[in-house]
Amino acid sequence: MNSKNRSRLFEIGTRAYDREKDIVDFLLNKEAEHAGSDHQKWKSFQPGKGFLDVEVGIKDGKIAEIGNNLSGAAEVLDAAGNIVMPGVIDPHIHLGIFNDFAVECEHETRAALAGGVTTCGLFMGGDQSYLGQVGGLIDLIEAKSSVDMFMHLAIFTPDQMNEMEACYQEFGITSFKVLYGRGKRRFSQCQRRIYS
């Protein structure tokens, strides 16, 4: 795939779409149609089905159609010689440990996307309140991230445990990790809270 088409693939997930436009916004076709092309077929990988010779229609940043001889696209992207597959989910990443959070959010997620990762689970730790941090981090993620992201909060303190409901209500966070192996006192506090 030439660099122009590769760049277009990266833009698909972040582009604003006109929902009233065509059936699909982008069509990844299985044979190059332009002059000078090598006419090399590409494959689409579908879980449970394997590699298929098909075209993929994308609408609003999501797969809308899979088949042959699709039409009506506003733009056709030549994917000859490549494999098209679902995005990879990396459920456990850390940002802001070795560099500024905003810098790592921009650069690390761009690198993840280049490797096929489209969703990351941001693991958060420490003993500070999450309520004071999460809103600003979500704003930075929305501004800087190249991938979808969800937060996974480690619960280290009773105060963090008490914030779990508020994190869910205010920010929609549903993933928490309670670490039982961090000392007898923490174990008993977490155990009492969870079982009560």
Q: pLDDT tens digit string along 97-120?
A: 999 999 999 999 999 998 889 999
Tell me what pLDDT residue 19 has.
34
Q: Residue 176 belongs to what H/E stretch? A: strand 175-178
**Cβ-contact 153, 175 below 8 angstroms:** yes
Cβ within 8 Å of residue 38, ≥6 positions away = 32, 80, 81
Per-residue b/e over 56-84, b at no fewer than 16 CB within 10 Å? Answer: bbbbeeeebbbeeebeebeebbbbbebeb
What pLDDT, on the 0 to 100 scale, is given for residue 85?
Answer: 77
Indicate the pTM of the whole model.
0.64
For the chain, domain boundaries: 3-84, 88-195
**Which of 123, 129, 127, 122 has the alpha carbon at shortest distance from 162?**
129
Contacts of 33 (CB under 8 A, 6+ apart): 76, 78
Within its chain, how far is the Cα of 112 from the centroid?
9
The low-confidence residues of the chain, meaning pLDDT below 50, are: 1-23, 31-40, 187
Other beta carbons less than 10 A from residue 42's beta carbon: 22
Structure tokens at 128: 């500070």
> What's the rounded Cα separation, in Å, for the pair 41 and 78?
10
Query: What's the rounded Cα separation, in Å, for the pair 47 and 101?
Result: 34
Strands 43-46 and 50-52: antiparallel
Q: What is the pLDDT of residue 38?
A: 39
CATH of domain 3-84: 2.30.40
What are 106-110's contacts with CB under 8 Å, separation 24+? 106/144, 106/145, 106/146, 109/144, 109/145, 109/146, 109/147, 109/149, 110/146
